[in-house]
């Protein structure tokens, strides 16, 4: 018997660390880890010890004889990885713990409370000589785990348990609901902390750059996701749900999240932690079809195989793929024919062909994929009424080119899901072209070929751009922590000139209603208690006023 990794896999590689026979790949020290959709267990090597099951934070691993029928395709997906991937090299030697200066103390400010921030904080807080203060402008932590992961993917949010272990350490402090730049400045943090780690993500959406994009009814997936996940800044937003069709531009996992949420029934969403205002609005929605537009072919679709496969299990929703749109580039077709195509891409093509071969369904709702189709213009006088799309085709060199063929899609909702973009951080250099803070191995540089700026570090999407999920952010956060530890050990961090003990009073004097660990604990308990009463994971508080009042209750 072997174990199998399934859809919820978050790639944080906790399972890799405990596997005694090196049967889980790619490992963080293998190049494929940076682009892997998920991790895979080699059925020929697994010894059924169960260590990975106990360690997995998102409950994604099962013995092969206990798989739910809908997860049985993962037997093949796991096995396929080992057909064309060299897994030699193994886990490598565990990293040597740095020798920190005896008796020295370090205070680190972490700005941001998402996955990259938490994995960095977790590594730093392992050392009693280091104190970690985490700042976030929201009254709640966990970043995109709370505000980005789709509500119907509850298992993925299991990484919160890992974060909760870190936040309970004695040398960890929260400054939530504190906006760095408003309630405390970058320079004031530099005066009080020996190292500053910015892990502030990439909060803005990218644009399509086509006529009509600014019409009402055209909106960013980032805004829609924040709305249905209960982000306090989006509770008053409204979205056009009164038409029968929505068009989503983009083929990443976020695009699939949006499609699912737009079509999911109340029986599905009603058991999740979706925001109540979103649940009420979606209950009245008239949308029956979501069209997902991919400007390139299936081989370049950005969604993971696990997310694509799971669409076939949605109750009351048909998945429609036109077999005529599954054209491959000449290079991919040749590699598929001779068996040299990367297994992940080959699986994506196989799944698409299986969807295309399904008989026409009668579920009443459907997700329709159009590949090699690009939005050209958004049409409407005062609001979106249609999107004009053009057909693309592959050139001999594998790039795409526009054809003369176009087609309209009537719609009142156009969702732009073509990526995120970082914004400049006050006090730090910024690379406008890449939308990241310039850095060398997490150490901030001046961006002009000059030296590293001592004591300043970045992690996550603001460091490398909006690529990768929880697993990639764990690696990135831990790399930033390693850089801080190395610089501390080498004695190159700046010495603070002020005591951070005054931070709470300082931010309060500037209007911040700071939420500490106890306050977050009250919020968490209240949401979970409300959820338990309704058979849900939690019922989120969605305004700053509600969150702060709950955090301060009993003070």
416 assigned to a ligand binding site? no
**In angstroms, what CA-CA distances link 258 with 226, 262, 264?**
11, 6, 10
Copy the structure tokens of residue 164: 């909760």
461 assigned to a ligand binding site? yes
55 assigned to a ligand binding site? no
| Cα gap 533→249, rounded to integer Å | 38
Backbone angles phi, psi at 486, to 5 degrees: -65, -40
Backbone angles phi, psi at 74, to 5 degrees: -70, -20
Decide the pairing of beta strands 400-410 and 386-394. antiparallel
470 assigned to a ligand binding site? yes
| Cα gap 385→218, rounded to integer Å | 10
| Cα gap 180→248, rounded to integer Å | 34
CB 105 within 8 A of CB 194: no
288 assigned to a ligand binding site? no
207 assigned to a ligand binding site? no
Copy the structure tokens of residue 236: 């008053």
H or E stretch at 106: strand 106-111
| Cα gap 393→391, rounded to integer Å | 7
CA 551 to chain centre: 27
116 assigned to a ligand binding site? yes
Rg (CA), the chain: 24
CB 142 within 8 A of CB 99: no
307 assigned to a ligand binding site? yes
541 assigned to a ligand binding site? no
| Cα gap 273→270, rounded to integer Å | 8
529 Cβ contact partners less than 8 Å away, ≥ 6 residues apart: none
Binding residues for NADP(+): 295-296, 307, 468
Binding residues for FAD: 116, 144, 180, 461, 468-470
Binding residues: 116, 144, 180, 295-296, 307, 461, 468-470
């Amino acid at each position: 018997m072997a174990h199998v990794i399934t859809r919820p896999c978050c790639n944080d590689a906790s399972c890799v660390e405990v596997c005694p026979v090196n049967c889980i790949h790619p490992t963080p020290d293998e190049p494929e880890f940076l682009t892997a959709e998920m991790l895979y267990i080699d059925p020929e090597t697994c010894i059924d010890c169960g260590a990975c099951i106990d360690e997995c934070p998102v409950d994604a691993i099962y013995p092969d004889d206990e798989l739910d029928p809908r997860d049985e395709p993962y037997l093949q997906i796991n096995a396929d990885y080992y057909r064309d991937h060299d897994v030699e090299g193994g886990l490598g030697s565990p990293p040597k713990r740095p020798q920190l200066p005896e008796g020295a103390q370090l205070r680190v400010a972490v700005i941001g409370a998402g996955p990259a921030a938490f994995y960095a904080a977790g590594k730093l807080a392992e050392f009693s000589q280091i104190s970690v203060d985490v700042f976030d402008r929201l009254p709640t932590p966990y970043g995109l785990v709370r505000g980005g992961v789709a509500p119907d993917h509850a298992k993925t949010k299991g990484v919160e348990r890992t974060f909760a272990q870190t936040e309970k350490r004695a040398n960890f402090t929260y400054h939530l609901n504190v906006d760095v730049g408003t309630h405390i400045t970058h320079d004031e943090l530099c005066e009080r902390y020996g190292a500053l780690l910015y892990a502030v993500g990439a909060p803005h959406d990218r644009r399509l750059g086509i006529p009509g994009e600014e019409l009402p009814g055209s909106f960013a997936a980032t805004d829609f996701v924040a709305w249905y996940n209960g982000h306090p800044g989006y509770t008053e937003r409204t979205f056009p749900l009164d038409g029968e069709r929505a068009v989503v531009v983009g083929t990443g996992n976020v695009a699939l999240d949006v499609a699912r949420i737009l079509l999911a029934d109340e029986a599905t969403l009603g058991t999740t932690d979706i925001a109540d205002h979103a649940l009420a609005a979606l209950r009245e929605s008239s949308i029956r079809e979501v069209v997902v537009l991919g400007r390139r072919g299936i081989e370049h679709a950005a969604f993971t195989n696990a997310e694509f496969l799971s669409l076939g299990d949605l109750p009351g929703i048909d998945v429609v793929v036109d077999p005529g749109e599954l054209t491959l580039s000449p290079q991919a077709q040749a590699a598929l024919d001779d068996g040299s195509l990367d297994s992940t891409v080959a699986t994506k093509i196989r799944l698409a062909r299986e969807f295309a071969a399904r008989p026409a369904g009668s579920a009443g709702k459907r997700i329709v994929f159009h590949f090699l189709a690009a939005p050209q213009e958004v049409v409407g006088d005062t609001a979106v009424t249609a999107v004009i799309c053009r057909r693309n085709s592959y050139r001999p060199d594998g790039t795409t080119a526009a054809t003369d063929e176009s087609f309209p899609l009537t719609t009142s909702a156009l969702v732009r899901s073509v990526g995120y973009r970082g914004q400049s951080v006050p006090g730090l250099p910024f690379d406008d072209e890449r939308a990241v803070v310039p850095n060398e191995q997490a150490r901030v540089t001046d961006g002009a070929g000059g030296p590293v700026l001592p004591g300043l570090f970045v992690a996550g999407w603001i460091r490398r751009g909006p690529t990768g999920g929880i697993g990639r952010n764990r690696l990135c956060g831990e790399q930033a922590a390693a850089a801080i530890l190395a610089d501390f050990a080498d004695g190159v961090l700046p010495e603070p000139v002020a005591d951070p003990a005054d931070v709470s009073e300082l931010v309060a004097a500037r209007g911040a209603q700071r939420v500490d660990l106890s306050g977050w604990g009250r919020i968490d308990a209240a949401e979970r208690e409300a959820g338990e009463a309704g058979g849900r994971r939690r019922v989120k508080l969605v305004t700053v006023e509600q969150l702060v009042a709950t955090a301060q209750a009993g003070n």
